[in-house]
Every structure is written in structure tokens, then in C-alpha cells.
Structure 1
């Protein structure tokens, strides 16, 4: 599998994860970005270390940054955990939000047995706050394209929050109960199109972006 590498130096690799490929997995025989990038580095005669510092759901395509050293991994992980790293998404929703711009704030609880999350009350044990900002960039009578900025990084956050708001993502077979298969046949219509972070060594602000793949 060819990897679309957007940027690389001695500390980081920024690349585009294809839809359907896991960022990291323990399943034997299943290709994931971690193993693909390790093989890529080994093929160049480098030490095949890859630090996974953030996640992207397996059905979701988009930009990811990986560390090439343990020091870079620690710095990037800290940025992700302290919300210093910026992550932006496009999503096609089944339905159109009433407000063209807005913020969704909920509390989510993850169920490890079913690999799903749900919106719960603030007082629920184990609940974690979830916040995102969205803006409608295009729409028709039945769908909208949303540009989303994540403020928190919870399990399946965008998918759960949009479904709870009554505008689930097209092609989401876990949370969109209006349909079991996407009309387009292109899978889950969610893409991480932009990421921003400070370089772990130079501390220079870096941003990487791919074009919006969704037209309605």
C-alpha cells in the first residue's frame, strides 16, 4: 500500500491515512498505519520506530502526525493531551442543522464491550466532557457539509455528538439509525482534513491540510 506522505523530517512524519486502515491495531495480519510506516522506515535503512500520538477512527480518512523519536512522541502526545494541537474535520450530515454555526457540548461515556460511546448526564460515573465547534459550508434539502474543530478528543466524539444533535453522519453504521448503508457507497463521510501542532524540536507552528473530499 502506498502512503501519501505530506511532510517528513528527522522528528515527524505527516501523512494521509486512507479510510478503512486502522491507525494502530493488535490484530494479526491487519495492516495499520503504525506497521506501514515502520516498514517504510525500515525500507530506507532507518530505525523502524513510530510513535502513535493521536487516533483516527478506522473508517475515517485524513491527516495524521506520527513521531520518529521517543522524545518527539512525548512532546506531541503532550500537545494532544493539553489541547495545543488543532484538529479539523469535514463531515456530511443526514439532515441540516438549524444554526449555520454553533457549538456542541455534551458528556460522553464509552462502552468498551461494544466499542461505542453515548451521550449521558454530567453526573454519570466515568462521563467525560466533549466539545466541538461547527460551521455549515454547503447544504441542500437533505444534507449539509460541516467544517468542525475539535476542542476535546473523545472516543467517536464527532459521530456521537452529531447523531445526538439529530444530524448523524452519512454512512455511519454505528450511530446513524436512519440508514444502515451510505447512499453514496463511499463509506463514512467524515474526513480529518487539517492538523496543526508545534514542531517537537524547533517549536515552529506547523499546519497540514488536504482538500475537502465532499461535494453535495
Structure 2
């Protein structure tokens, strides 16, 4: 039994059955509780399930992957521990497809290609940097990109992640000389305070943890600047 609808006025349900819940995360909501104490996706969705299904006591919902707080778009959550275990294994084995849309400053030299770097995270500052291969505790980061459209000094990219490192897309593109529009952390020399980062999870694909059928969760960026610069038909805008 699949259901679609609204988990709240802002959180759109993309797919739901007894095992998984796919939603489109609004921007500026943490994936899970953090030090700010602001409402987070995991808590909001648990409360929504509790109310919609009139469930007493605690509701189980497993966090399978994360999106950075300023990033919106498709996410999947597990409604049972078995689903959580199987989806987590899909993430570990890279058997999950993650595509993002991004608006960057400038135009890459190649219209498509792969970025492969080694990243190091500083937990004290919550920042990530590119470091030489072989650096202790560094992790390899790989992504493919394709330029969909260029306009007014910006480029719209479709990005496929092969690894899921913290801040990976933001760091790798900034290191390549093309920071994301609105990225205050990794593109501050280009961005202005108040700008919203232009990074959106447009697709999450994975084998259903029970039926094994392929599930594709799709979410489109909002029709606001800088997304509205582009007319590419690969991405259908939402309101």
C-alpha cells in the first residue's frame, strides 16, 4: 500500500509503505537533532507518523542517510529496523543511487567528467578540506558531473555521488574553482549573506529492502533564483 500526500505543510511525501518513507526535505531543517535544538526531519516525521496512524508510544524511524541542513530534496527513512539494516548496507556497498542538481559559479572546462579527491574533516570547525592522497584519516571522494545548461556566469550541473563524504559536493566543486551559488562555508568570496545554497537532492534510487524492486525518489528544486535561470528539461521545477 503506497501513499502520497503531505506529512506537514512543508514536507512532501514522495513514497510510503510499511517499510520505508521517502520525503522531500525542506531547506534549513537538520536531518536529525543537532546542537541548535531546532526541529529536525527525524523528529518531525516521527511525530507525523504518530498522528497520522494514531500510534501510541514511541515511533520507530531509522535515519539511513543525511542531507546538509541548507540542502533540500529527496531522502529515504526506514520504518522498521530490518529496513534500516538493509538500506544501511545498500549505502555501505554503494548500491544506492544519489543524484543532485547544483548551480555553480563559472563553467567547468569539460562539459562532463569525474572529480576524485581526498578529504579531511575537522570536527571542531565542521569544515572539510582537500588533502594529498595518503594523508592520515583522509577519505576518498568521487563524483561525476554533467553540465546541463550555462547562463549569466552560472552553470547548472547534474551530479552523481559515488561516495557519501561530509560536505563532499560543496568541497570538491569549490576546490575545482567552481563553488556553489550561496555556499557561505566553501564559497564565501562569491556568496553574499542570506543567499540560499543551490544544491538539491533530485534522486535517490535503491532496491526496496523487502520486495527488492527498484525504488526511485525524485524531487525538483524550487522555482526561485538561481534555479529559475535555467530551462533544462532534465529537471522539473516545483512550486
Same-fold call, TM > 0.5? yes
Query: Matched residues in 2 for 1:97 and 1:215: separation?
Result: 20
Q: Deviation per CA, 1:165-193, whole angstroms, max 9, x where unpaired?
A: 000001000000323426xx650000001
Mapping of 1:1-216 within 5 angstroms?
Answer: 1-2=8-9, 3-27=11-35, 29-43=37-51, 44-46=53-55, 48-181=59-192, 186-213=195-222, 214-216=227-229
Query: Matched residues in 2 for 1:26 and 1:162: separation?
Result: 26
Q: Deviation per CA, 1:92-140, whole angstroms, max 9, x where unpaired?
A: 0011111100100000001100001000011210010000000000102
C-alpha RMSD over aligned residues: 1.4
SS at match of 1:16: strand
Moved over 6 A (4+): none
Change (3 A) 1:29 1:116: closer
* Conserved 8 A contact 2:73-2:220: no
Q: State the aligned residue count.
A: 214
Q: Tell me the TM-score normalized by structure 2.
A: 0.86
SS at match of 1:42: helix
CA positional deviation for 1:41: 1.2
Query: Matched residues in 1 for 2:219 and 2:152: separation?
Result: 27
* Conserved 8 A contact 1:53-1:76: yes
Query: Matched residues in 2 for 1:124 and 1:67: separation?
Result: 35
Q: Deviation per CA, 1:56-114, whole angstroms, max 9, x where unpaired?
A: 00000010000001110000011011100000000000111111001000000011000
Between stretches 41-50 and 188-197, larger displacement belongs to: 41-50
Gaps of 5+ in 1: none
* Conserved 8 A contact 2:73-2:221: no
* Conserved 8 A contact 2:181-2:191: no
Q: Deviation per CA, 1:146-175, whole angstroms, max 9, x where unpaired?
A: 000000000000000000000000100000
Q: Tell me the TM-score normalized by structure 1.
A: 0.95
Query: Matched residues in 1 for 2:221 and 2:31: separation?
Result: 21
Gaps of 5+ in 2: 1-7, 230-239
